[in-house]
Structure 1
Amino acid sequence: MSQVESTGELLMNAAKGLRRSYARVLAEWDVTLGQGRALRVVSTTPGVRISSVADVLGIAPRSATEVIDGLEARGLVSRAADPHDRRATSVLPTQEGLRVHRLIAEARERATVEYLSRLVPEDHEELRRLLGLLVHDGA
């Protein structure tokens, strides 16, 4: 196995570990990973269309509709007619949705800190710098 492949595997496994941590956090609110991501989009972009949620999440519009349906059933989001296009529907966070989004964001931050706690501060900063290069320059 080449060093690049080894690095890729390490990166994927680290991401999977962090994702498992996030899944445990979201389970406290009976929210799936996909619902958590969608709630973040709706909470930070109130009035977003479902098609835009799908684009941000990289999923099919039908899948985004199902995710939003689940959030709506839980009382975390609501739908409203788009004020600029009556044929379209906007998704808005409810007060409970905003509260849950805030609590999830705080818990995710704690989970991230815990996951990275094995790193000394210098290594953590270096990891952040390197990942920033990959995410922002290698997109």
Structure 2
Amino acid sequence: MTMAQDSPEQLRDLVMSAARALRRRWFTALEPWGLSPHEYRALRAIHGGDSPRLGDVAKALRIAPRSATEVVDRLEKGGLIERIPDASDRRAMCVRLTAQGGRVITELDAARDADAAEFFADLPAGDRAALRRILEALPRP
């Protein structure tokens, strides 16, 4: 059985294919820094927070706290973040970017923006605007 053109199934497959292509490109773009997309997301969560606790990082990544600890351990070992005591609860630990981590997140953001510009470069401005409008209209988790 073939799918009708513009069927929900065909649209789903096209969106998933584009998302996979973007994800593969992002994996490749992260290689020079030796980071995974998951570690990048953790850096973004830490950068965007005010020295968040590990539990906050886990929530931002939608993973178990134990898994967040493993990600934070790798980032700390790489010198990108550091653990600091929580000012309001001495038993808890918070995390923040190191100076090196701040430089890396700036470089990564620039690389990600450049990759997106390249990925969408062949779409005329009107098509990009239509794509934005359509994607914004779709439900999100």
- In 1, Cα distance between equivalents of 2:62 and 2:137: 22
- In 2, Cα distance between equivalents of 1:27 and 1:14: 20
How does the TM-score come out when normalised to structure 1? 0.93
> Contact 1:78 / 1:93 at 8 angstroms: preserved in 2?
yes
Q: Bigger radius of gyration, 1 or 2?
A: 2
Identity of aligned residues (%): 39
How does the TM-score come out when normalised to structure 2? 0.91
> Contact 1:46 / 1:93 at 8 angstroms: preserved in 2?
no
- CA RMSD in angstroms, aligned pairs only: 1.3
> 1:138 Cα deviation (Å)?
3.9
How many residue pairs align between the two structures? 137
Runs of 5+ consecutive residues of structure 2 not aligned to the other structure:
none
- In 2, Cα distance between equivalents of 1:116 and 1:62: 37
Match of 1:120 in 2: 124
> Contact 1:82 / 1:88 at 8 angstroms: preserved in 2?
yes
1:51 aligns with 2:64: no
Matching residue within 29, 33, 41 for 1:37? 41
Which secondary structure does the structure 1 equivalent of 2:90 belong to? strand
Structure with more contact order per residue of length (Cα contacts < 8 Å, sep ≥ 6): 1
- In 2, Cα distance between equivalents of 1:65 and 1:138: 27
> Contact 1:35 / 1:71 at 8 angstroms: preserved in 2?
yes
Runs of 5+ consecutive residues of structure 1 not aligned to the other structure:
none
Which secondary structure does the structure 1 equivalent of 2:33 belong to? coil
> 1:127 Cα deviation (Å)?
0.9
